[in-house]
Amino acid sequence: MSRVQITTGSSQETEELGACLGSLLKPGAFLALQGDLGGGKTCLTRGVVAALAPQSADHVASPTYAIMNSYPGNTPVYHFDFYRLRGDDDIAELGFEEYFHGDGVCVVEWSERLEELLPDDALTLLFEYGEDNQRRITITSSGQKSDMVLEQLSETFKKQKKL
């Protein structure tokens, strides 16, 4: 397990972080997005989709009512938002797990609600407000695949002097 903290100064920078991360992801990767309302989770997702399924990038919005939006591309992106799920909704019965280890990349807003359904090997991104338009994004990896992605991301950011 490792951890990297990145501060972005605008929604554009958060989207760029998403694109950089997206370009490193392989099918089966899982991004668990957590933290403040308006923290930038959907914004980062837009960047991930821009990297993996660019033809769909303009259409990224919180799938608040649908629970999941899918963006077809070379690597499809499955975008979930569990904000509106009630405590007694049984996520396991909704049948989403088949997506979690499938042909695409899963990006999940409010992944806290998944509890034990969260895959063991995932990148967790915690969004917190900073001053002005800053967002502090803490990325934690929890397995072999996600450790490798996080290592590549921090190498890229060090080269660009963003870390």
Ligand X SMILES: Nc1ncnc2c1ncn2[C@@H]1O[C@H](COP(=O)(O)OP(=O)(O)OP(=O)(O)O)[C@@H](O)[C@H]1O
Which residues make up the interface to Mg ion (CB under 5 A)? 41-42, 62, 109
SS3 readout for 18-48: HHHHHCCCCCCCEEEEEECCCCCHHHHHHHH
* Binding partner of residue 39 among Mg ion, ligand X, none, CB cut-off 5 to 8 Å per kind: ligand X
Residue 77, SS3? strand
Q: Which of 20, 25, 29, 41 binds ligand X (CB under 6 A)?
A: 41
**Residue number with CB closer to ligand X (13 or 99):** 13
Rg (CA), the chain: 15
Residue 99 C-alpha from the chain's centroid: 14
The Cα 17–Cα 14 span in angstroms is: 5
* Binding partner of residue 11 among Mg ion, ligand X, none, CB cut-off 5 to 8 Å per kind: ligand X
* Binding partner of residue 37 among Mg ion, ligand X, none, CB cut-off 5 to 8 Å per kind: ligand X
Residues that bind ligand X (CB under 6 A): 8-11, 13-14, 37-43, 62, 109, 127, 133-135
